[in-house]
Amino acid sequence: MRLGELSKVRRVALDESSRAKGHEYVTLFADADADPARRRVILVAKGKDAATVEAFEANLRAHHGKPSQIEAVSIDLSPAFISGVSEHLPHAQITFDKFHVIAHASQAIDKMRRIEQKLDPSLKGKRWVLLKDRAALTAAPHSPLVFQQSPILCLACGTCIPASKGERTASM
């Protein structure tokens, strides 16, 4: 495949980055092929909105590619990217990148911890227990109790295992 040739690109990863101080962004589009030898940056476009995906579509067409050939796109949770991919790469399956999904899940767990802490002051000071690797939790003398005291956090962290008739236990 020639350097400018995009007819074989099937999977694309895109993410924005700050270009300079302030709010000047660029979006990078990369071939996300399973073969590491084929991975490369395809386009760097100004901005971080749906128009950048439109610019990618135009670049793809200009280099012998078609929007219909793009099967999968990995993006962050940006509504602008979701909209741009849906409009300009309609056959692509959207996958959200792990970093942003985990960040949102962590924020949701922290929000629930704050709510429950107001209801049960004994949960105060347990934030770092929730953020630790589960394998390391046994080192903290009271860490299993956090999940036993907090049914919402127990479910959110996936540490509960069913017990007999409505009881709940924490799996460590």
CA–CA gap between residue 20 and residue 3 (Å, rounded): 28
Domains and CATH numbers, the chain: 11-96 (3.30.420), 99-170 (no CATH)
pLDDT on residue 103: 87
Where is 153: in which H helix or E strand?
A: helix 151-157
Alpha helices in 43-126 (DSSP H): 50-62, 79-88, 98-119
pLDDT in tens, 35-67: 888 899 999 999 999 999 999 999 999 999 999
Tens of pLDDT, residue by residue over 124-168, are 776 766 666 666 665 554 455 455 555 555 555 555 544 444 443
**Residue 21 confidence (pLDDT):** 78
Percent residues over pLDDT 70 in the chain: 71
Q: The dihedral of CA 154, 158, 162, 163: what is its sign?
A: negative
> Quick one: pLDDT at residue 109?
78
Would you state the pLDDT for residue 110? 81
Residue with more model confidence, 160 or 30? 30
Report which of 9, 39, 45, 10 is spatially closest to residue 26, judged by C-alpha positions. Answer: 45
